Amino acid sequence: MNILEIIAKKRDKQKLSKEEIEYFVQNYTNGNIPDYQASALTMAIYLNGMDEEETTNLTLAMANSGDILDLSELGIVVDKHSTGGIGDKVTLILAPIIASLDIPVAKMSGRGLGYTGGTIDKLEAIPGYNTSLTIDQFIQNVKEIGIALMGQTLNLAPADKKLYALRDTTSTTESIPLIASSIMSKKIAAGANKIVLDVTCGSGAFMKDLDNATKLAETMKKIGELANKETVCVITSMEEPLGKAVGNSLEVIEAIEFLKGNMQPDVKEVILTLGAYMIKLAGKGNDIEENKQKMLEQIRNGKAFEKLEQWIQKQGGDISYLEDVKKFEKAKFVVPVVTERSGYVEKLDAQEIGKASMNLGAGRKKKEDSIDFSVGIVLEKKIGDKVENGDVLAYIHAHDEKLGNEIAKDVLNAYTITNEIVSKKQDILKIV
Ligand code: URA
């Protein structure tokens, strides 16, 4: 077998065998196949696709490229993963709510990819938070306090680690077989029994329309079933960013505020739906509406916030920042984005906001870039809101005034204002 033949086969729209897929994954992971050949193959997969059998074989080969965690001693663990979004602070909020209901949370999260943010980058905005635990610490923390959340530092699905970074720099991210295998290989390797997936859909997501989001959801659900892991996909709108804040510290602050009871309506809808299915899969309640009420009660009685503090403290984070969010380092300049039109917000392009946030320094343009935790964007107006000439649509938090002013123009352009009344967008599009 050789890699040139495998690339040529996919280039010519032929189906790859299990052995060919395993050969590629093993030899790319151990360094025998260089990045340029892997790039050619991923581009051929991007252009010509893979059928269900090929996608499953790719997923299993990637899952088996490293260790497979055994979390059986923790009971039923329900994992959650998002296909990526803008302003997506869901895990920071959902994980402590679920753990406060005595459902173990043992989660590995990623860093930002392209214009989308990553939970690990956000957690590192909390001074002291340690994202790289050993496997023993990880399991011990879950046993002691019911929750641990770390980066992908263990040897889990190393093939995905390499391919994820390669795709990020070769414009091959938005591909159903590549996203499905990337996510499901990690979930299989991470040892959870059940999986809830947030499949984002819209301008700020990798899947731009409901048809493709449904295809991705069905593909992942099928792989989950084949791997004996019950999987539910919630397709959520990423037409505009989720919540108000985009940027690392700003999103952490929004998450903390949420757990103190100050909930943005779209974030609330997404959190409650994903969480209600997690509770159901954990065998702790079949009624979705009742499950949502249980979650709200954990916020009202302060137990979800207490769990957040316990979790952050256990992983070395300074919890005085949770009690007083003013302690987070602030960007030097806050530039308002002011509209000169009156009307209703018709569009707020999530992808443009994601790019604007990345350009401020909240994300990476190159793998080796460092992140500026304090910069980002706070959206004051969202789709459906009424605006008057002179209103502030958003605030840009920047370390450089000139850059802040430039980005303010980009953010203004991300808004479309119309004279017609616009209804709020639907947050939950479909359950698969
Ligand atoms: N999230 C992942 O883990 N992988 C992808 O390919 C896209 C989003």
Ligand 1: centre distance to CA 387 (Å) = 36
Alpha helices in 49-110 (DSSP H): 52-63, 90-100
Is 11 considered catalytic here?
no
The pLDDT of residue 35 is above 90: yes
The finding on whether 182 has its CB within 6 A of some atom of ligand 1 is yes
Nearest to 187 by CA among 29, 282, 35, 69: 69
Q: Give the model's pLDDT for residue 33.
A: 97
User: Mean pLDDT across the stretch 403-415?
Assistant: 98
The finding on whether 200 has its CB within 6 A of some atom of ligand 1 is no
From 39, 109, 181, 182, active-site residue: 182
> Of all protein residues, whose CA lies closest to atom 8 belonging to ligand 1?
83
Ligand 1: centre distance to CA 82 (Å) = 8
Residues 161-171 pLDDT 10s: 999 889 988 98
Ligand 1: centre distance to CA 186 (Å) = 9
Please check whether residue 164 is in contact with residue 65, taking contact to mean a CB–CB distance below 8 angstroms.
Answer: no
Please check whether residue 144 is in contact with residue 333, taking contact to mean a CB–CB distance below 8 angstroms.
Answer: no
Q: Give the model's pLDDT for residue 364.
A: 79
Tokens of residue 317, six digits: 């984070």
Residues 268-305 pLDDT 10s: 999 999 999 999 999 999 999 999 999 999 999 999 99
Q: Give the model's pLDDT for residue 367.
A: 67
The finding on whether 216 has its CB within 6 A of some atom of ligand 1 is no
Helix 248-259, helix 265-281: angle, nearest 10 = 70
Q: Give the model's pLDDT for residue 111.
A: 79
From 80, 107, 167, 292, active-site residue: 167
Burial class (CB in 10 A: 0-12, 13-18, 19+), 37: middle
Is 249 considered catalytic here?
no
The finding on whether 42 has its CB within 6 A of some atom of ligand 1 is no
The pLDDT of residue 112 is above 80: no
Burial class (CB in 10 A: 0-12, 13-18, 19+), 35: middle
Q: Give the model's pLDDT for residue 370.
A: 82
% pLDDT > 90, the chain: 87
Nearest to 322 by CA among 333, 313, 330: 313
The finding on whether 270 has its CB within 6 A of some atom of ligand 1 is no
Residues 375-406 pLDDT 10s: 999 999 999 999 999 999 999 999 999 999 99
Please check whether residue 295 is in contact with residue 270, taking contact to mean a CB–CB distance below 8 angstroms.
Answer: no
Residues 405 and 337: their CA atoms lie apart, in Å, by 9
Please state the pTM of the whole predicted model.
0.94
Q: Give the model's pLDDT for residue 153.
A: 76
Is 81 considered catalytic here?
yes
Please check whether residue 338 is in contact with residue 411, taking contact to mean a CB–CB distance below 8 angstroms.
Answer: no
Is 182 considered catalytic here?
yes
> Of all protein residues, whose CA lies closest to atom 3 belonging to ligand 1?
183
Give the sheet arrangement for strand 343-348, strand by strand: 386-387, 343-348, 415-418
Residue 371 CB-half CA count within 13 A:
25
Ligand 1: centre distance to CA 84 (Å) = 7
- Residue 184: what residue type? M
> Of all protein residues, whose CA lies closest to atom 2 belonging to ligand 1?
183
**Inter-CA distances, 158 with 10, 45, 277, Å:** 23, 19, 29
